[in-house]
Amino acid sequence: MGEVIATKVLDVIQPRAQLTWAGRDVSQTLSSFVKSLSYTDIIESDNTGTDMLSLTLVNKDGIFNEAWFPQEGDVLKPGIGWKDAKGNKYLWLFGEFTIDDVTFKLSPDEVTIGASAKPKNRGKLENIKSQKFENIKFTALMKQIASGCELDYVEGNIPNDFTFKSTQQRNESTQAYLERIVNETTIPVSIKSNKLVVGEFEDSVLEIDLRNRDVITNAVLPMSKRGTYSAVEIEYFDQVSQETFIYRAGDASLSGDKVKKLYNISNVNSINDAKQYAESYLQDGDKKQSTRQNASGRLNLINTVARAGQSIRLLNSGKIANNWKATTVNTSISGERWSTNIQMKRKES
């Protein structure tokens, strides 16, 4: 997950990119070439997130055309280092990433490197295959998937480690299968630094004073929830008849945005399964529905350490909702400017 040295930094001096490339610390060597460094940290309950990295280097002298030519598959360990007004030094490392995209540009002469937290051997995560699991607990399934993809397994808080009666990966990649399971269960699963990270994690609370515009550059804080569904429709494959059927719970006359359509639910293999799942999903208090329909907001900050999954408390907010959880955090450094963009969902009070 990576260690966070500080929760919030207001007196940052000389932020700089920290970078280990293919096992070698090149922070000093490449510091004058780094135009920007951007790290995207994701922990979502609606889909499987993969941490991403983007590094743009100035290539005016063509150094990256030959001597420092970036190779796909090279391992990067990036981060940010900085000092405070007292001269204390800090270091925040983001984890391990593998280069999977390199783009050269002219006028201006630059090279942009894209990397992800997926394992170096991508095939076990991305190749299409089919497999079936029966009477298996959610955590046991996640551990088996992690092992099969050569990922370490990290488990957080999972309140309900339920059992799948039957679940199938049907002619799809393991990545797609994981995303389908996460969408069904709303249990966060993400790929970070060659790890499959599952569940919720307690982290320090990031407190932001809404009056402090030296830290906040922009914010969007919606107060109303999204519209609720009036019907839920499930398309499922019946294991007995070997046919595909559709079951709807709720108002049969509705269409459009008022109908939530679900496909390929892992644990729905019969009409009874479909009925139970759809009616549960439709209930106002159901975790799947309330999680998906929480209002989403955004904070743009400077000189602030923040992490996906972290709780955010807004101070001096008046009647504005003040409890949020970060789902996606983009941390970027360009020159001596350090900015943080937080996508977040409002927490239930």
Domain residue spans of the chain: 14-116, 122-198, 231-284
Overall fold of domain 122-198 = Phage tail protein beta-alpha-beta fold (3.55.50)
Whether residue 172 has pLDDT greater than 80: yes
Summarize pLDDT for 75-94 with one digit per residue, the tens: 999 999 998 888 888 899 99
Question: pTM for this structure?
Answer: 0.76
Burial state string for 185-195 with b = 16 or more CB within 10 A and e = fewer than 16 = bbbbbbbbbbb
3 state DSSP class of 301: strand
Q: Residues 222-271: pLDDT tens digits?
A: 876 554 567 788 877 776 777 777 888 877 666 665 677 777 676 677 77
Q: Do domains 14-116 and 122-198 have the same CATH topology?
A: no
Count Cα atoms within 13 angstroms, Cβ side, for 141.
25
Q: What pLDDT does 46 receive?
A: 59
**Residue 45 pLDDT more than 80?**
no
What is the spatial distance between Cα 61 and Cα 58, in angstroms, rounded to a whole number? 8
**DSSP type of residue 200:** B
Class at the top of the CATH hierarchy for domain 14-116: mainly beta
At 285 the pLDDT is 33
